[in-house]
Structure 1
Amino acid sequence: MLDPAAPQLVVNARVLQFSWLPADPDAAAALVPAGLRPRPDRQVFLCQYVVDDGEQTSGFDAFSLTYLGLALDGIDPLPVEGIPGGWWTHYLASTPQVRAFAVARGAPVASGETRLDLRGEHLTGETIVDGAPIIRTVARVGHTGSRVCSGHQRYLTARDGQLFHADYPYVAEPVTPFEVESVEFLAPRHPLYALRPANPLVICGGLYSPRASFAYPPGPNALDDPSAAADPGTAHPSPARPASLPSGA
């Protein structure tokens, strides 16, 4: 078993990431624990990614992952400004190795497979649980160029009643053009159905990168004062960054 406190590196993953406004903002916000505050618009993020070969990692085998959650107010990654911190609500990993690594860090882990199928200019992402797709996304994508997105993303988790955070550095080559055409939540009885998008679909930003690299930092670290995120007098709202990549597994 990998040491969950040790850093890990992933290179050249295929990553589809974007965010939207939910159909039921109250149901989405109810997934955020006390002491943290979701953004006023209850923005939901989704990341579907595939690591095709274990040689792309410093310690994992090949795996795929889907995670979802809500962007937070007042929990901003440093030193980068303008990127909201995120609370993971669902974390569906394909291998026991990655699930064990992530659950030790407090992620809300479950078993699931992620597929990204590119045919022409259309990319279809599917998140599969027990052999059936529960999320299907379709995006129109182009090609990479000279543009590179880089930075950090902060994610929060909980373990044994304690909140933790970790800042994930990333470098990605996004494609242009990029347009999300549809997002389907196919399992109304699954808990993640609370995060389904509004109709009509409102996309807040995102990207597809056929070559995204990111690190799992050492840690995670305890969040010293989560109550500050719930105090409007001390919070610092952050706008969404249209082409940022929430990395991490």
Structure 2
Amino acid sequence: MLDPADPQLVVDSRTLHFSWLPADPDAVAALVPPGLRPRRDRQVFMNQYVVEDDSQTSGFGAYSLTYLGVALEGVNAPGGVRPGGWWTHYVTSSPLVREYAAARGAPAVLGRTSIEVRGEALVAETVADGSPLIRARARVGETGHVVHAGHNRYFTRCAGQLVSSVYPFISETVDPFEIESVEFLEPGHPVYALRPENPLLITWGFYAPRTAFAYPGGLTPYPGQQARAEARGDASPRAGAPGPQRSAVRVVDQPVRR
């Protein structure tokens, strides 16, 4: 098992990352724990990605992954543009990645994600428990000269403590890009609460044949919860967060032309 306090690097993953407004805003808001606030529009995000080869990671090996969650108010990533997010679902093909992510508080389960591109047609599918859960279709073009670089901030819970980490990324995105449909295929599955409204309203997104990103080492306790714990005289709120605790470094999130 990998040490969850160790950072991990991934390069050249094929990544479909986008966000939408949900069909059931109240159900989405109910997934956010006390101490965090969903955005007023109850925005939902999803990242489906595939890592083809062991040589693309520092320790994970080849794997695929889908995570979904709820965008948050007042806890933006460095740069102040991208909202922080609460992970509600996390599906990976790798037992090693599942153990690593679960030790960091992610709701990780085993499954698989596929991304197929034929001409301009992209189909991304997430499967868990032997059944397709989510299918996204997009129209995609070619990579150009714009690289999107920045940070995502994601929250989890470890041993009852809200924690977050900041994940840097660099994506070589395609143009044109358009999400055509997002299907949630299992009404009885908990992930169905995140399904998009009809008509579909996409708030942002991209497809990148090559994305590099890192899992930072350690986790940072959420300051609001830490202050409340100290006021009550509780034990150190850092307890239960694996590894050394590190503060986020402020770096502006913006497209970079090369």
Q: If the length of structure 2 is used for normalisation, what is the TM-score?
A: 0.87
Alignment partners' CA distance in 1, 2:160 and 2:130: 33
Is 1:51–1:62's contact at 8 Å kept on the other side of the alignment? yes
Measured against aligned partners, the alpha-carbon deviations of 1:155-186 in whole angstroms (never above 9, x if no partner) come to 00001110010000000000000000000000
Instruction: Name the residue aligned to 1:175.
Output: 174
Instruction: Name the residue aligned to 1:21.
Output: 21
Q: How many residues align?
A: 230
Q: What percentage of residue pairs aligned between the two structures are identical? A: 60
Q: CA deviation at 1:223?
A: 1.2
Instruction: Name the residue aligned to 2:144.
Output: 145
Instruction: Name the residue aligned to 1:237.
Output: none
Instruction: Name the residue aligned to 1:92.
Output: 91
Alignment partners' CA distance in 2, 1:23 and 1:7: 36
Report 1:92-241 matches (<5 A). Answer: 92-226=91-225
Query: Cα–Cα, structure 1 residues 242 and 44, in superposed 2: closer, same or farther, change >3 Å?
Result: farther
Alignment partners' CA distance in 2, 1:52 and 1:63: 7
| 1:30 matches 2:30 | yes
Report the 3-state secondary structure (helix = DSSP H, G, I; strand = E; otherwise coil) of the residue aligned with 1:194: helix
Q: CA deviation at 1:130?
A: 2.4
Is 2:15–2:207's contact at 8 Å kept on the other side of the alignment? yes
Q: RMSD in angstroms over aligned alpha carbons?
A: 1.5
Structure 1 runs of 4+ with >4 Å offset: none
Measured against aligned partners, the alpha-carbon deviations of 1:10-39 in whole angstroms (never above 9, x if no partner) come to 000000010000000000110000110000
Is 1:36–1:227's contact at 8 Å kept on the other side of the alignment? no
- Equivalent residue letter for 1:72: L
Report the 3-state secondary structure (helix = DSSP H, G, I; strand = E; otherwise coil) of the residue aligned with 1:97: helix
Is 2:91–2:111's contact at 8 Å kept on the other side of the alignment? yes
Alignment partners' CA distance in 1, 2:178 and 2:224: 38
Measured against aligned partners, the alpha-carbon deviations of 1:200-226 in whole angstroms (never above 9, x if no partner) come to 000001000000000110111211214
Query: Cα–Cα, structure 1 residues 83 and 226, in superposed 2: closer, same or farther, change >3 Å?
Result: farther
Instruction: Name the residue aligned to 1:247.
Output: none
Report the 3-state secondary structure (helix = DSSP H, G, I; strand = E; otherwise coil) of the residue aligned with 1:112: strand
Instruction: Name the residue aligned to 2:245.
Output: none
Report the 3-state secondary structure (helix = DSSP H, G, I; strand = E; otherwise coil) of the residue aligned with 2:58: coil
| 1:58 matches 2:45 | no
Alignment partners' CA distance in 1, 2:169 and 2:163: 20
Instruction: Name the residue aligned to 2:230.
Output: none
Q: Which runs of 5+ in 2 are unaligned?
A: 228-252
- Equivalent residue letter for 2:36: L
Q: Which runs of 5+ in 1 are unaligned?
A: 229-240, 244-249
Alignment partners' CA distance in 1, 2:89 and 2:16: 16
Query: Cα–Cα, structure 1 residues 178 and 12, in superposed 2: closer, same or farther, change >3 Å?
Result: same
Q: If the length of structure 1 is used for normalisation, what is the TM-score?
A: 0.90
Alignment partners' CA distance in 1, 2:138 and 2:62: 24
